[in-house]
């Protein structure tokens, strides 16, 4: 099993509904959903659909031997007990290094602090990556800083290299991006205008390799 800590909009938030339909799966119910009528969208969103609509706080981790799900939940509850809800920055659909994502329009210290706390505070449950996973990650031509994060934390994009994003597609060609970017901006425009708060963190679980991530727990910020 793998466990990840994510931000996800509330289930009654239009952004959750639209994001889930865009990807073709509701990560809360694990139900398949009808996607927009866009040529090739099922293939373009296949990888993102597996992970569910979210923004990563602590990347997926395999649990080390002896670590239990109940212990992870308890530790995560303790972690957020002292963190108060806060306003999410304005969001926008953007081209992020070749793939489409919903991004924060400006950096948020509160978001970064929450992600940092999740990465560090739950890391004792993580099984370190094996040589094969390290080699796979390094095929992305990591910077020296990203490689150091990979070795220490099991993932290259944490702390100084972390960035908030809710993935919408795989990496696109210029032609694909020219078609999809305006369509995605149009679909999400109204939902992204609404203010929203970060009131909880979400624990997603993956039962096994190739299985979809599902939303298993929402833990409220109680500070």
Percent of the chain with pLDDT over 90: 91
H/E segment holding residue 5? strand 2-7
Which string of DSSP letters, residue by residue, matches 84-132? --EEPPPEEEEEETTEEEEEESS--HHHHHHHHHHHHHTGGGBPPP-HH
Structure confidence at residue 115 (pLDDT): 97
Q: What is the pLDDT of residue 66?
A: 94
Angle between helices 131-138 and 144-153 (to 10 degrees): 160
Report the topology of domain 2-220.
Answer: Cyclic Phosphodiesterase; Chain: A, (3.90.1140)
Rounded to whole angstroms, the Cα distance separating 142 from 150 reads 9
| pLDDT value of residue 34 | 98
45 Cβ contact partners less than 8 Å away, ≥ 6 residues apart: 22, 23, 24, 35, 168, 169, 170
| β-strand pairing of 165-171 with 91-96 | unpaired
**Region 142-159 average pLDDT:** 92
Lowest-confidence pick of 17-26, 100-109, 139-148, 190-199: 139-148
How confident is the model over 77-111, as pLDDT tens digits? 999 999 999 999 999 999 998 999 999 999 999 99
pLDDT at residue 60, as a whole number: 95
Tell whether the model's pLDDT for residue 134 goes beyond 90.
no
Residue 101: its pLDDT value, please? 98
pLDDT, position 167: 98
> Is residue 124 very low, low, confident or very high in pLDDT (cuts 50, 70, 90)?
very high
Locus of tokens 């994502």 = 101
* pLDDT > 70: percent of the chain: 100
Q: CB pairs under 8 A, 24+ apart, for 218-221? A: 219/73, 219/76, 219/77, 219/80, 220/80, 221/80, 221/83, 221/84, 221/85, 221/86
Residue 140: per-residue pLDDT? 81
Q: How confident is the model at residue 133 (pLDDT cuts 50, 70, 90)?
A: confident
**The predicted structure's pLDDT at residue 129:** 86
Q: What is the reported pLDDT for 141?
A: 83
Q: Which residue has the higher pLDDT, 73 or 154?
A: 73
What was the pLDDT predicted at 127?
A: 94
Domain layout of the chain by residue ranges: 2-220
> In whole numbers, what is the pLDDT of the chain averaged over residues?
96
End-to-end CA distance of the chain: 30
- Report the alpha-carbon distance of residue 146 to residue 198 in Å, rounded: 27
């Amino acid at each position: 099993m793998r466990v990840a800590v994510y931000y996800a909009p509330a289930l009654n938030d239009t952004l959750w509904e639209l994001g889930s339909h865009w990807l073709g799966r509701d990560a809360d119910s694990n139900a398949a959903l009808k996607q927009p009528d866009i040529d090739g969208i099922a293939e373009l969103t296949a990888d993102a659909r597996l992970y569910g609509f979210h923004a990563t706080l602590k990347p997926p981790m395999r649990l080390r031997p002896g670590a239990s799900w109940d212990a992870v939940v308890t530790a995560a509850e303790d972690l957020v007990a002292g963190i108060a809800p806060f306003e999410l920055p304005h969001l926008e659909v953007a081209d992020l290094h070749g793939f489409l994502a919903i991004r924060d329009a400006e950096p948020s210290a509160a978001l970064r602090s929450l992600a940092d706390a999740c990465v560090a505070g739950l890391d004792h449950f993580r099984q370190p990556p094996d040589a094969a996973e390290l080699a796979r990650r390094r095929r992305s031509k990591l910077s020296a800083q990203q490689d150091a994060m990979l070795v220490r934390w099991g993932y290259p994009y944490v702390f100084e290299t972390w960035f908030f994003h809710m993935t919408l597609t795989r990496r696109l060609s210029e032609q694909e991006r020219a078609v999809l970017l305006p369509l995605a901006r149009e679909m999400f425009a109204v939902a992204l205008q609404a203010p929203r708060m970060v009131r909880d963190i979400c624990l997603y679980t993956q039962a096994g390799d190739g299985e979809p991530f599902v939303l298993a727990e929402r833990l409220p910020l109680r500070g």
